[in-house]
Amino acid sequence: MMEKKLQELCSKSIEACSYEELYAALMTIVKEKSREKILPAEGRKLYYISAEFLIGKLLSNNLINLGLYEEADQCLQAHGKSMAELEEAEPEPSLGNGGLGRLAACFLDSLATLNLPGDGIGLRYHCGLFHQYFRKNLQTEEPDFWLSADTWTEDTGKTYPVSLAGREYQARLYQIDVTGYEGRTNKLNLFDLDTVDEALIQDGISFDKADIEKNLTLFLYPDDSDDAGRLLRIYQQYFMVSAGAQMILEECEKRGSNFHDLADYAAIQINDTHPSMVIPELIRLLMEKEIPFEEAVDIVTKTCAYTNHTILAEALEKWPVSFLEQVVPQLMPIIRALDETARKRTEDASTVILDENGIVHMAHMDIHFTHSTNGVAALHTEILKNSELHSFYKLYPEKFNNKTNGITFRRWLLSCNPELTSYLEELIGPGFRKDAAQLEKLADYADQEEVLRRLIEIKKHNKEKLADWLTEKQGITVNPESMFAIQAKRLHEYKRQQLNLLYLIHQYYEIKRGHVPAAPITAVFGAKAAPAYTIAKDIIHAILTLSQAIAHDPEVSQWIQVVMIENYNVTAAEKMIPACDLSEQISLASKEASGTGNMKFMLNGAVTLGTLDGANVEIAERVGEENIYIFGQSSAQVIRRYGHQDYCSREWYESDPNLRRAVDFLTGEEMLKYGCEENLTRLKNELTGKDWFQTFPDFNAYLVRKNQALEDFAVNPLKWARRCLINISQAGFFSSDRTIEAYQKEIWHLGK
Ligand code: 26Q
């Protein structure tokens, strides 16, 4: 059936087709099939509003979900074509930065899989997250034009008027089908503006930030390091929520809502503060329908719920009231009225929406005027309740709840690691495909040597595949016998790639002294830095420079190889994660809200080296201390240190000779041979003069634990494989199906 259809669509033999043609034809087949699974919503329906949906490539994922993958794969093979090469023809939609956007994508997959009515609402950026290139060991950015002629987004023909700075624009609705694994099809609704013009892009990713008509949906998160960028962000956010709110009201009215009962028809989940303006916008729209302010506030509070993804103060959005007055004057009377309402509820000045400096606190509006505020891992939620949002917790204890993040096993196991998947099926049957908790059955095999040997073999094979990919993409040769220690996530000081870097430098010196490690190590990094984040870019520079310095040193390069993957994205993650031995989750305790990469690595049989931060805490609880390498200060210690303001990095630098040696190396002659003095000096000064994320106090603990892991890996491979097995068997809890079921039971109550 597939074969005939493909030939028909291409109007030639499959052999004669290019991969682009086959990709377009398969996309058509998938779209037809997924359409059959669209169901009318009954009862309450979810709208997940998010500025990011980091969905990744869709073809293989949709084929798997629709049960068409095997057939497509065999059909291609029979005609001398390969699915792997076909996948290369698909551009990746990188409509997100990192964790928050990827989480939204995993949630959509789980909603459809669990047959829940739930759509996404976001923006159809013409360019996703920038394409990262390395030039002279520095990150450079180029636009990512992912929208080709054949795209998953379909024009619905519908538009909604949105008023920006007093001018009316039309938001055009595009949709992408979201398939569920043996489940229903939902929609991802993405809004765009017809007049956006890619010709506005100048050098790299720079463009005229003032020309809203041409730039509104041009880029995902334009640089917000200046006022023009920040204003554009507000324009984008309001465009998204206004069109989204109109769409929601229209749908609910069609389904019978009289708006007073909106909460019986809609649940709106606000993904961090980026879509927070949906609250005043909905109130405004309800008031246009003659609903009084107080009742509108009540309706919106019952309909909306808010998820917090960060405890970093600088990431909590606060806008000068003058910005909002300029872009969304129609919201200002409502925001002021909400502020007054909130002030009547408490005298606590730390919970105001509009403060005395003329700053609007978006998160405060969310907590006052939604019925649920959740954190994304147990520790994170506790920190929100007890410190960061303590005044709100005192006011509304019943609103606070935890929903530990999860990941979709369809993409992060079935699709990216077919070999492990089929071996698991051999051992424990196919039940885990739909019910992740069944992975626990694997624990019964923890002491069977032949099982452990097979796991080692599968890992080896995945490492070889990653090695081949690296050779092809970056011309690098790596040693699959070495330990693959991988740190893949956005570049941020709190995530502490610089700690990993200092470790590698330390090892460099140790090898020079004749203290060789227990096993050779391949340290793999994948990370993009925000274009305006200078120190993050300096860290990338230092990693790339160190990589070169080591590669040129025959003594050290036998033991250490440093690889930085260019343009880390979902597609790269799918290749890296199955090949990992040691998963680096080394954020400063209390700073990583959850992390989701940690879960992906564990599921694919890597052992975690991490701090007790975010969801690492829950991973550690599940696998037990013998199956994870934990190190470093506790979150309580860190919070105390910040409270006392007595951390002085220079003291640590001066009192620890190993640490000083490693830090000094940054600007030593080996590095300066390949690197740039300005960048390396700036990084060194940042560390010795500030080190805001306390890498120095954790340096020794990290070094000891990592070397222990290396030794365990080298000395007793079977025991190491047992740790991998236990990690896989305990990963079921981290399925996003479990997370979505908890949102459903405790917040959304979707359906009838
Ligand atoms: C804010 C203001 C101005 C410009 C940009 C932003 C901005 C953009 C993106 C703030 C935050 C983000 C993204 C945050 C994010 O990805 N957070 C991650 O969310 C994951 C899913 O819950 C967690 O697992 C991670 O721990 C958290 O860092």
Are 361 and 400 a contacting pair, CB within 8 Å? no
Count of Cβ atoms closer than 10 Å to residue 80 Cβ = 8
Which three-class secondary structure state does DSSP give residue 287? helix
Rounded distance, CA 309 to CA 271, Å?
8
Of 337, 343, 319, 410, nearest to 64 (Cα)?
A: 410
- Between helices 616-623 and 717-729, what is the axis angle to 10°? 110
Task: Tell me the CATH architecture of domain 409-734.
Answer: 3-Layer(aba) Sandwich (3.40)
Rounded distance, CA 590 to CA 636, Å?
8
Which phi and psi angles does 263 have, rounded to 5°?
-65, -15
For this structure, is 596 an active site residue? yes
Chain-centroid distance, C-alpha 147: 21
Given a cut of 70, the residues of the chain with pLDDT beneath it are 222
Are 441 and 428 a contacting pair, CB within 8 Å? yes
- The finding on whether 425 has its CB within 6 A of some atom of ligand 1 is no
Of 434, 529, 519, nearest to 485 (Cα)?
A: 519
Count of Cβ atoms closer than 10 Å to residue 438 Cβ = 17
- The finding on whether 520 has its CB within 6 A of some atom of ligand 1 is no
- The finding on whether 355 has its CB within 6 A of some atom of ligand 1 is no
Selecting among 309, 361, 385, 684, the annotated active-site residue is 309
User: What's the 96 CA to ligand 1 centre distance in angstroms?
Assistant: 10
Of 613, 693, 687, 612, nearest to 656 (Cα)?
A: 687
CATH 3.50.7.10 at 37-57+92-137+144-405+739-748, yes or no? no
Contact partners, residue 410, CB within 8 Å, separation at least 6: 61, 64, 65, 109, 113, 181
Rounded distance, CA 74 to CA 197, Å?
41
pLDDT digits (tens, 9 = 90+) for 194-222: 999 999 999 889 998 889 999 999 999 76
For this structure, is 289 an active site residue? no
Hey, which of 48, 123, 310, 366 would you mutate to test ligand 1's pocket, going by the most ligand atoms within 8 Å of its Cβ?
310
- The finding on whether 224 has its CB within 6 A of some atom of ligand 1 is yes
Which three-class secondary structure state does DSSP give residue 748? helix
- The finding on whether 594 has its CB within 6 A of some atom of ligand 1 is yes
* Domain spans of the chain, in order of start: 37-57+92-137+144-405+739-748, 409-734
Rounded distance, CA 113 to CA 119, Å?
13
Atom of ligand 1 nearest to the CA of 317: 2
Contact partners, residue 237, CB within 8 Å, separation at least 6: 51, 274, 275, 276, 277
User: Which residue reads 């440093």 in tokens?
Assistant: 562
- The finding on whether 99 has its CB within 6 A of some atom of ligand 1 is yes
Q: How far is CA 574 from CA 60, 281, 423, 568, in A?
A: 12, 39, 18, 10
pLDDT digits (tens, 9 = 90+) for 513-552: 999 999 999 999 999 999 999 999 999 999 999 999 999 9
Amino acid occupying residue 662: A
Selecting among 489, 506, 575, 682, the annotated active-site residue is 489
**Eight-class DSSP state of 193:** -
**HSE of 117, CA atoms in CB hemisphere, 13 A:** 17
Rg of the chain over all Cα atoms, to the nearest angstrom: 26
For this structure, is 490 an active site residue? yes
Rounded distance, CA 427 to CA 445, Å?
8
- The finding on whether 223 has its CB within 6 A of some atom of ligand 1 is no
The per-residue pLDDT for 222 is: 62
Of 203, 210, 204, 213, nearest to 229 (Cα)?
A: 210
Q: How far is CA 167 from CA 278, 288, 328, 565, in A?
A: 19, 19, 10, 44
Are 568 and 132 a contacting pair, CB within 8 Å? yes
The structure's pTM equals 0.98
The per-residue pLDDT for 148 is: 79
For ligand 1, atom 9, the nearest C-alpha belongs to 97
- Do domains 37-57+92-137+144-405+739-748 and 409-734 share one topology? The answer is yes
End-to-end CA distance of the chain: 37
Contact partners, residue 98, CB within 8 Å, separation at least 6: 54, 489, 490
For this structure, is 600 an active site residue? yes
Opening angle at CA 364, ends 363 and 365, nearest 5: 90
Selecting among 351, 381, 421, 596, the annotated active-site residue is 596
- The finding on whether 310 has its CB within 6 A of some atom of ligand 1 is yes
For ligand 1, atom 6, the nearest C-alpha belongs to 315
User: What's the 310 CA to ligand 1 centre distance in angstroms?
Assistant: 6
**HSE of 171, CA atoms in CB hemisphere, 13 A:** 30
